Amino acid sequence: MITLPGAGGRYPWRFRLVAGFLLVAAILISWRIVELHVLDEGFLKTQGDKRSVRHLPITAHRGQITDRHGEPLAVSTPVMTLWANPQQLVEHPQRWPELAAALGTDTATLGERLQANATREFIYLRRHMTPQDGEAVMALRVPGVNALEEYRRFYPAGEVAAHLVGFTNVDEVGQEGLELAYEDWLKGVPGSRQVLQDRRGRLIKDVQVVSNARPGNDLALSIDLRVQYVAHRELRDAVESYGARGGSVVIVDVRSGEILAMVNQPGYNPNNRSRLEPSTMRNRALIDVFEPGSPIKAFTVTAGLMSGRYTPASTMDTRPGTMRVATMTVRDIRNYGLLDLTGVMAKSSNVGVAKIALDIGAEQIYTLLRDLGMGEYTGLGFPGESVGNLPNHPRWRPVETATLSYGYGLAVTTTQLAQAYAVLGNQGRKVPLSLLKVDEIPAGQQVIDPQVSAQVLAMLRAAVDGENGTGSRARVPGYQIGGKTGTVHKTAAGGGYSSDRYRSVFTGIAPISNPRFAAVVVIDEPTSGEYYGGLVAAPIFGQVMADTLRLLNVAPDDLPALQQVELPPVTTGEAG
């Protein structure tokens, strides 16, 4: 037996203790090796992957928005976004000048950003560059500079459809309009790809696609871009010509409820929002409410006819052009004398409709207006849509009844007014409005008796085509047009109504013999001197409707009769 002098011999317990420790350590290390390589072999792989494997997103393509004929209104185009790892880039300050020049910035600004974010691993250098410009920067091979493939939303129609379509933010998330309303439908589902990177974040290998990106769904709108362009052009020119604060035009297909055009002024360019004014983003046709004025007279007359107490031939005595109702005086522009209901409509007599309303009661008018969609949402689902205000008093006072009859004391949107007139044009049947293309026309709900609707349409035609009708400037050669003008006093800041601030309104239907379209034109506060609806809004309606009827191939219904001429028979030898 060998004895170690001075160690095991003198202190045998120390040797045994050290040997025991070494033996236990060897056993533990051996067990750990077996555990890692046999029992838990995925642990080392997982730890290695955590340090080198990354999952990068694959950007999904957002759905396209088109008009009813497939014309693009919103598309996503591929762009390149450059980002940097500041921890790596700060080590190469000699490359900053050429990088700054390629990015279109100065070296000092770039340097300040990098130094401020020196402890981070990711910052954006520039987003949404064209692929050509992005490739030019990447060709410099600056350490720490990387690229991402993204998409940028582009709006081919620009200002023409901006209020309706809306826009997205830099990350392609809907912020306004239908882009916001249909965000869940339009957005895609991003995919993922697995890559290997070194400790500096440099790509070593593109391993595999973990999940493919799923593009968003396309959205086909009800609007016809040709009609939208026409309405936008005429409204823009009119607002500028009359020095107005703004305006709206809405055109509805009376049979399907599809909105063929919806434009507003002032507008904005969704492709360049660097100087965007918030007030120009508002879709006035669905958000702004106003007292409609005289266009409501058509429904007061309708309620009178539906009550059975009146016929188109019923006579109203409007003399002497004024009527006292409690503490208020109802006035016409002049003394129209005796008028039948057609004359009441054509002359826009306040006294005439007030007498009808006081006779049949405000409840019948209120019920009709409610059934036509006033005082409730249109169901379009547009963000920020206003519901308007249709008062329902427990007991209607004579003054409230009289003012309701000619369109004061309630508030509507341009779109609600267009829907109401579309019901008149659809034989009294109300169909839901739609901003999306409709494949099958809904059955709708009968709101007005078809015979009454036809009688009111004839009265509306007299207001345009009749002698001295207030809407004569809305005429369209070759077509029977019906409509109603409105000149509405705006409310004053201190209460009451302003004496020099107006809204000019025209609501119309075309062609009267077989209605296809209802349209509303609203001009807010014209300042050029003219403000009557028949002088300001009616000509816009006439031009827009003339182009709409032509573009959509609607046959004329008011052409002069062709003279029949009998030609003599052609004899043999005379034909040339």
574 — pLDDT class (breaks 50, 70, 90): very low
What are 138's two structure tokens? 């990447």
206 and 233 in contact (C-beta within 8 Å)?
no
510 and 542 in contact (C-beta within 8 Å)?
no
Summarize pLDDT for 377-388 with one digit per residue, the tens: 999 999 999 999
Residue 536 pLDDT greater than 60, yes or no:
yes
Residue 157 pLDDT greater than 90, yes or no:
yes
Residue 156 pLDDT greater than 80, yes or no:
yes
Cα 132 to Cα 449: distance, rounded to the nearest angstrom: 64
What are 72's two structure tokens? 């693009």
Cα 410 to Cα 404: distance, rounded to the nearest angstrom: 7
Cα 457 to Cα 147: distance, rounded to the nearest angstrom: 63
Summarize pLDDT for 275-324 with one digit per residue, the tens: 888 889 999 999 999 999 999 999 999 999 999 999 999 999 999 999 99
What are 64's two structure tokens? 């396209």
Where do the H-state alpha helices sit in 479-532?
none
Q: 3-class SS at 180?
A: helix
Other CB atoms within 10 A of residue 492 CB = 12
For residue 77, the cross-strand partners are: 152
Residue 316 — φ and ψ, nearest 5°?
-115, 130
pLDDT given for residue 573 in this prediction: 47
575 — pLDDT class (breaks 50, 70, 90): very low
Q: Which tops the pLDDT comparison, 202 or 265?
A: 265
What are 428's two structure tokens? 């009294």
Summarize pLDDT for 456-490 with one digit per residue, the tens: 999 999 999 887 788 999 999 999 999 999 999 99
Mean confidence (pLDDT) of the chain: 88
The dihedral of CA 335, 340, 341, 345: what is its sign?
A: negative
Summarize pLDDT for 343-359 with one digit per residue, the tens: 999 999 999 999 999 99
What are the b/e assignments for 328-347, b being 16+ CB within 10 Å? Answer: eebebeeebeebbbbbbbbb
Q: Percent of the chain beyond pLDDT 70?
A: 89
What are 535's two structure tokens? 């002088």
Summarize pLDDT for 225-283 with one digit per residue, the tens: 999 999 999 999 999 999 999 999 999 999 999 999 999 999 999 999 888 888 899 99
Summarize pLDDT for 482-514 with one digit per residue, the tens: 999 999 999 888 788 888 899 999 999 999 999
Other CB atoms within 10 A of residue 30 CB = 10
Which range has the worst mean pLDDT, 79-83, 218-222, 235-239, 504-508? 79-83
pLDDT given for residue 571 in this prediction: 58
Residues in the chain: 576
Residue 8 pLDDT greater than 60, yes or no:
no
Summarize pLDDT for 180-201 with one digit per residue, the tens: 999 999 998 877 777 676 665 5
Residues taking part in catalysis: 294
Q: Which domains does the chain have, with CATH numbers?
A: 56-193+202-220 (3.90.1310.10), 225-268+293-551 (3.40.710.10)
100 and 92 in contact (C-beta within 8 Å)?
no
Other CB atoms within 10 A of residue 531 CB = 22
Other CB atoms within 10 A of residue 273 CB = 14
Summarize pLDDT for 97-142 with one digit per residue, the tens: 999 998 988 989 998 888 898 888 889 999 988 889 888 888 888 8
For residue 393, the cross-strand partners are: none
